[in-house]
Structure 1
Amino acid sequence: MKRLISCLAFLVVLLTACKKESFINSADARVNISTDSLRFDTVFTSVGSITQSFKISNDNDQKLRLSQVKLMGGSNSPFRININGVAANELSNIDIAAEDSIYVFVSVTVDPSTANLPFILSDSISIQYNGNQRWVQLEAYGQNARFINAGLINSNTLWDATKPYVILDFLNVAPGASLTILPGTKIYAHANAPIIIDGTLNATGSVSAPISFSGDRLDAPYRNYPASWPGIIFRSSSLNNHMQFVKVLNAYQAVIVDQPATNANPKLVIDQCIIDNAYDAGIFARNTSIAASNVLISNCANNISIQAGGSYNFIHCTAASYSNNFLLHKTPVLSVSNFTLQNGSPVSSNLQANFTNCIFWGDAGFVDNEVIVRKEGSAPFSVSFNNSLFRAQNEPTAATLINVIRNQEPLFDSIDVSNRYFDFRHTKSPAPGINAGLVSSISKDLDNNNRPVGLPDMGCFEKQ
């Protein structure tokens, strides 16, 4: 009896093994291909893309033989494929074990051309088995660009919008030199590529053709990550800088302004600009001078950080942060101080800072006071808030407050954290910032809409 049972068990194992080793030949074999298309967002010429993949699964209890997997464009295709670990444009007789799968990896490299506008590249992968043929479509957007590798600008230079600029190592505008950027120009920086201004930056866009600075990873999800690139740094010798209709997106520290100007002008004049999604500071200013109007600083870890004194005039600006998938809002949107610590002791400098018709707001949770003002020492100190709105449990006692609105929701038009959609206009009634500003010389808002002759709205947007 024991011998009979052993023989039967052996036969069961043998039959099972034979079944698994046999191939399914039916055209109705269950084969799952994880996608029918792969799309690559903007790929700069010569740089190459990320690698994407799809899976071919054999959902049968027998082995499956793929008669062919083929990149139809072959060696002339800008796409490259790797089939289950084999780099080849075509592979035949690929076996997939029962209830197993293989991966096909795809990348694309775009050859330079004379085109200025983005162009579409396409190809397809054919998958054949048991008389069936299925397809995965491939599509990429190619973009010619001007590449800057360890770029030093030591004379007056003009950048236009015909092709984007990709900074691979760093860009440095030398003392005495200037970089002028025309409307519509797009600048993309590599992860370790800061833009360093020792001379002068004049970036003047328009409402219909803004200038943009961002990281060079344009594929999802990387295009939305903070800290995608270092940011713009205005160093001690820099002077007479101007930014208008500029977007600075997804930097580590978006705009750093360091040390006083060497003349009587503000070191940076920034108007009608958007600074968004910085991993650390949106604007970091240290003992310097900034004139800012109609600027939106949104969803940064530290929207505005002013240290070690200086001279600042912010008018019609909005600084707002909400916790999202990338950043927790856990520091005030505005921090102002007149000192730095040296060997653990505060060293103070002169500070004059005026905030007029501004909104400083963030979601409640980790931050009790969205505005922090700190004073040390006896150096001249003047910080004032005029006709501004902010959220704070405690008023900043070191500052002068005139006609401020505290702890009233600004009623922004849309705060959709789950979809990362934020509209910091405030057109809903009764938004407290509407017609609550102080009459000023600022005649336009961030959208370049007219502000009224009478009382304007607080913040960077004017209700129309």
Structure 2
Amino acid sequence: MFDVHYFHRMRLAIAFILSVVVFSLGSCKKDQLLTSADAKLTLATELLTFDTVFTTVGSITKSFTVVNAYDQPLNISNIQLMGGSNSAYSINVNGSSGTSFSNIRLNAFDSLYVFVKVNINPGSSDLPFLVKDSIRFSINGNTQQVQLQAYGQNARFISSGRISSNTTWNNTLPYVIVKPLTIDNGITLTITEGTRIYCNATAPIIVNGTLKALGKVYDSTRITFRGDRLDETYRDFPGTWPGIVFNNSSSNNELRYINVLNAYQAVIAQGNPNDVTPKLTLFSCQISNAYDVGLLAFNTKIVAENCLISQVGNDGETGLGGSNVLLTAGGNYTFNHCTIATYANFYQNHKQPSLFISNNSGSQSLPLQVQMDNCIVYGQGGLATDEIVVSKTGNTAFGIQLRNCLYKVKNDPANVTFLNALKNVEPLFDSISTSRQQYNFRLRDESPARNAGLAGGPSTDLDGKPRPAGTRPDIGCYEKQ
């Protein structure tokens, strides 16, 4: 008699055996090396580029992936740094350093990492120079390459920690400040036009004497202070170096046509508010992309004209940080044709006002005098509702006057005199794109700040373009031409 159950069990057994055979055959295939002469690795890039690297300093490590996109394993017969041990580059493959690596098995759909670092030796060139090499991958008789290139730059490395005699820096080579640098009491450091200064993450410039940074109007003749990380990931980060500090003993400091970029607290000045000569004179300066404060003043005397203090402030507490300009503990301050503005973005959350003014120093109240003419104080996109916040305590002399200024607040601060003000109107800057990190604070034709200023200020704007003589100029640091 035909056993239906037996027949069904036999069918299941045969199906199981066939599936095992098919699986085994498939597994065997997947375990077999792909030896086709057409096989190629999938390289994440064919060109790995490093931005300007200072000689002897090196750079961050960059990496790229090497992928086996096939369903069979591959054998990479060789990975070779073509410059060998004499190369300016060094490589690491999956955790192992060397210049040549042989017989690396890369399983199906698997990947490995190649890490690359560059260190450029000093040369005779004063200008940036190009350093090249390549990494060759050999597989099944085929070769593929990733090109390496870096721009090297010679520099003068300042590691002594202090300047103890009158010194002049020029623009022949950039300066890299390796550790905190102090200008001693009674000593003057003069920096000439076009000089570039790059500071390490732990290297503030501390001025106990005098700093005179005397640039000129063109981009090539302006003086630039910034962090020493120029690679793509870090070059636009705020807070990549501490900033410049003018201590109580310093005097007669001048910053003309300078850029202070990407600092933590870009410029700090303190002490001597009653001196005839200001502690610090700022003329046609740009202070941009600071993490905490752009200009921080403690009971001192500052004159600022034609200055742009922009894109500043991440977190911070009101009166302590997070503002473009923070004037505290009293003092004597004059601002003319300055633009103070922040648009919230990934780097600056703009929680605090763009401008904070206070006469407080702990429990003490100190005299305060602030005069602002033809200035823009504006912000957008953050949590700050008032772009100007004022704190007054005690009965000491206290005066704040803003004439012909454009500003944004929900409520006007007390103890401030506003004359001919433009309140809560958009300045209509030329172009702002927070997503692309592009900020052009020049004015459009239709800006309400056009022809709304007081005459008698500086004759040229931040770009060195003329302001009209005897008629009303534009408000802010730029004059629409």
AA at the equivalent of 1:440:
G
Q: How far apart are residue 129 of structure 1 and its match?
A: 1.0
Distance 2:226 2:305 in 1: 22
CA distance in 2 between partners of 1:262 and 1:155 (Å)? 27
1:312 corresponds to? 333
Q: Do structure 1's residue 101 and structure 2's residue 111 form an aligned pair?
A: yes
Shift in CA distance, 114/439, structure 1 to aligned 2, threshold 3 Å: same
Distance 1:237 1:270 in 2: 18
Q: Say whether residues 1:396 and 2:407 are aligned partners.
A: no
Distance 1:132 1:399 in 2: 76
Structure 2 residue corresponding to 1:245, chosen from 227, 248, 257: 257
Question: Paired residue for 1:187, among 177, 197, 213?
Answer: 197
CA contact (8 A) 2:226 2:260 kept: yes
Aligned residue number for residue 433 of structure 1: 449
Which of the numbers 263, 267, 274 marks the counterpart of 1:255? 267
Distance 1:158 1:211 in 2: 13
Match of 1:335, SS state, is strand
Deviation at 1:374, TM superposition (A): 1.8
* 2:344 aligned residue (323, 328, 347): 323
Give the percent of matched residue pairs that are identical in Structure 1 and Structure 2: 48
**In the alignment, which of 30, 34, 44 is matched to residue 20 of structure 1?**
30
Contact 1:313–1:355, Cα closer than 8 Å, also in 2: yes
1:233 to 226, 234, 245: 245
2:167 to 130, 146, 157: 157
User: Aligned partners of 1:441, 1:107: CA distance in 2, in Å?
Assistant: 51
Tell me the distance in 2 between the aligned counterparts of 1:455 and 1:3.
98
Q: Is the 8 A contact 2:253 2:280 kept in 1?
A: yes
Q: CA RMSD in A?
A: 1.5
Q: Which residue of 1 aligns with 2:316?
A: none
Alpha carbons 1:360, 1:370 under 8 Å: kept: yes
How far apart in 1 are the matches of 2:101 and 2:432?
50
Cα drift, residue 427 of structure 1 = 2.8
d(CA) in 1 for partners of 2:30 and 2:256? 68
Gaps spanning 5+ residues in structure 1: where?
Answer: none
Against the structure 1 CA distance between its residues 119 and 262, is the aligned structure 2 distance closer, same or farther, given a 3 Å change threshold? Answer: farther
Structure 1 contact 30–60 (Cα < 8 Å) conserved? no
- 2:157 is the counterpart of 1:147: yes
Q: Kindly indicate whether residue 435 of structure 2 is the aligned counterpart of residue 418 of structure 1.
A: yes
In 2, distance between residues paired with 1:365 and 1:76?
A: 51
Q: Please give the alpha-carbon distance, in whole angstroms, between the structure 1 residues aligned to 2:247 and 2:395.
A: 27
Gaps of 5+ in 2: 1-9, 314-322
CA contact (8 A) 2:403 2:421 kept: yes
Match of 1:65 among 70, 75, 96: 75
Aligned pairs, number: 459
Aligned to 1:278: 290
Q: Does the CA-based 8 Å contact 1:204-1:211 persist in structure 2?
A: yes
Shift of 1:3: 7.1
Compute the displacement of 1:262 (Å).
7.8
* Residue identity opposite 2:395 in structure 1: S
**What is the CA deviation profile of residues 301-320 of structure 1, one whole-angstrom value per residue up to 9, with x for unaligned ones?**
11000001000000000000
CA contact (8 A) 1:205 1:244 kept: yes
Q: Which residue matches 2:385? A: 368
Q: Which amino acid aligns with 1:298?
A: S
Q: Answer yes or no: is the 8 Å Cα contact 1:239–1:261 preserved in 2.
A: no
Assess if the C-alpha contact under 8 Å between 1:185 and 1:211 holds in 2: yes
CA shift for structure 1 position 19: 1.8
TM norm structure 1: 0.96
- Per mean C-alpha deviation after superposition, the further-off stretch among 394-403 and 237-246 is 394-403
Name the structure 2 match of 1:32: 42
Q: CA deviation at 1:147?
A: 1.1
Of residues 444, 450, 457 in structure 1, which corresponds to 2:474? 457
The SS at the match of 2:132 is: strand
User: Residues 318-357 of structure 1: matches in 2 within 5 Å?
Assistant: 318-341=339-362, 346-357=363-374
Match of 1:213 among 203, 214, 225: 225
SS at match of 1:254: strand
How far is 1:21 from its partner? 2.1
How big is the shift at 1:390?
Answer: 0.2
1:294 and 2:311 correspond:
no
1:141-187 residue CA offsets vs partner (Å, 9 max, x unmatched): 00111111252101100001111111111110011101100111111
Q: How many Å apart are 1:59 and its aligned residue?
A: 1.2
Q: Which structure has the larger Rg?
A: 2
By how many angstroms is 1:85 displaced? 2.2
Partner SS for 1:75: helix
TM-score, length basis structure 2: 0.93
Q: Which moved more, 1:440-449 or 1:290-299?
A: 440-449
